[in-house]
Structure 1
Amino acid sequence: MTISLSKGQRIDLTKTNPSLKNAIIGLGWDTNKYSGGQEFDLDASAFLLRENGKASGIEDFVFYNNLTVYGGAVVHTGDNRDGEGDGDDEQIKLDFSKIPESIHRIGITVTIHDADARQQNFGQVANAFVRLVDEHTGFEILRYDLGEDFSVETAIVVCELYRNGGEWKFQAVGSGFSGGLSALARNYGLDAK
């Protein structure tokens, strides 16, 4: 049975699921129909963070222009530019055995591409969720529905996975930012130009 999380909740991943070696982080959303005349393009990203809570460079950043890091430790499956259809709109795959020991936390985020130019924000996005699936069994371990708490934000830290005593845990974050992908990159220690 899938565990449903609320904002701020944490859950053991590998300790309570010892067979979990490869996970799929599925992210999905719907856009509210409005007369803005522009398509929505939401993008998932992963920031691999060191002990200091910062990424050290492009090798610690997975997004639509850098799909794979550390020999397949974290893989973005590709950019969905319209979010149409049911299920996951974008996915990030994790191979826990390949994630370097120097990585202590992985921030999973969603941003709106060209949000300022298109006058878009997460107040126009509905039914946003993240789910974690065991890639080998297809079993959905957990799900976090973000709700309708956002208005002017253009970027969201959806969740974080982090090491704790040699095991991986999951935290439902749901924290919004203004400034899109560049604001998140700066927050995580990258110089976004």
Structure 2
Amino acid sequence: MGVSLTKGQKVSLSKDGAGLTRIFMGLGWDAAKKGGLLGGLFGGGGGDIDLDASCLVFDDAGQPVDQIWFRQLSGVNGAIVHTGDNVTGAGDGDDETIKVDLSRLPASVKSLVFVVNSFRGQTFDKVANAKCRVVDDTSGVELASFTLSEAGSHTGLVMAKIYRHNDEWKIHAIGEKTVGKTFHDMMPAIQGTL
């Protein structure tokens, strides 16, 4: 089991200096349950929640290099691949997954910022168990996880950043609330994390 991160925490993804090559960021969520006996009796589940995971790629100067999202499932010459859009949040485990081959990223790539936004504008008070985890795609070992339980009227979250520091990949658990139906709306908050 990997490190369970708290908001603002930064940790290395490499163990004992071993080279990490392929990872995936799994993002998950559930529809919040409506309270009360009558709500449960009359189909009072939270309904479908269409959150979208995206990965924004930046260079040393903080300039965007590429974006991987449900309308562009591959980026940086195939080094980053989004496995597809989940429009309901149904099911256990990761609802959306973004695979990254770190060894294929050009040296000019400094950071990858992972965000989740509510495409239909549903606020996060309708979302439960928003979480992300980084997994070594070669061994299947979970390296780090980050859970957000903060409900609210926001429609987006800047979840985490994976960045290169002294030839080592690190993760920064961000958890910043923001507003936006796509990552385009969230760019000021995203660039503020660089």
Where does residue 145 of structure 1 map in the other structure?
147
Could you tell me the TM-score, scaled by structure 2's length? 0.86
What secondary structure is seen at the aligned counterpart in 2 of 1:172?
strand
Alignment correspondent of 1:180: 181
Shift of the 162–37 alpha-carbon distance from structure 1 to 2, 3 Å rule, reads closer
Q: CA deviation at 1:54?
A: 3.0
Note if contact 1:25-1:133 (Cα within 8 Å) is conserved in structure 2. Answer: yes
Q: Which is greater in Rg?
A: 2
- For the pair 1:46 / 2:55, whether they are aligned, the reply is yes
Matches of 2:15 and 2:140 in 1, distance apart? Answer: 18
Contact 2:158 2:190 in 1 (8 A): no
What count of residue pairs does the alignment treat as equivalent?
181
Q: Give structure 1 stretches of 5+ with no counterpart.
A: none
Q: Which runs of 5+ in 2 are unaligned?
A: 35-43
Amino acid at match of 1:5: L
Quote the offset at 1:33 in angstroms: 3.7
Q: Is the 8 A contact 1:15 1:167 kept in 2?
A: no
Q: C-alpha separation between the residues in 2 aligned to 1:25 and 1:159?
A: 10
The percent of aligned pairs where both chains have the same amino acid is 38
SS at match of 1:39: coil
Aligned to 1:97, the other structure's residue is in SS state helix
Q: In the alignment, what sits opposite 1:160?
A: 161
Q: Is 2:48–2:90's contact at 8 Å kept on the other side of the alignment? A: no
Shift of 1:14: 2.9
User: Per-residue deviation at 1:15?
Assistant: 5.6
Any residues of structure 2 matched to 1:36-185 within 5 Å, and which? 39-56=48-65, 60-115=66-121, 120-147=122-149, 149-181=150-182, 182-185=184-187
Q: Distance in 1 between matches of 2:13 and 2:155?
A: 29
C-alpha displacement of 1:128: 1.1
Q: Is the 8 A contact 2:160 2:173 kept in 1?
A: yes
Deviation of 1:45 after TM superposition, in Å, equals 0.1
What one-letter code is carried by the residue in structure 2 that aligns with 1:176?
A: K
Provide the alpha-carbon RMSD of the alignment: 2.0
> For 1:95-116, what per-residue CA distance to the aligned partner results, in whole angstroms no more than 9, with x for missing partners?
011112111111000001120x
Q: 1:92 to 1:28 in 2, by over 3 A?
A: same
Deviation for aligned residue 1:187: 4.7
1:144 & 1:137 partners in 2: Cα distance? 20
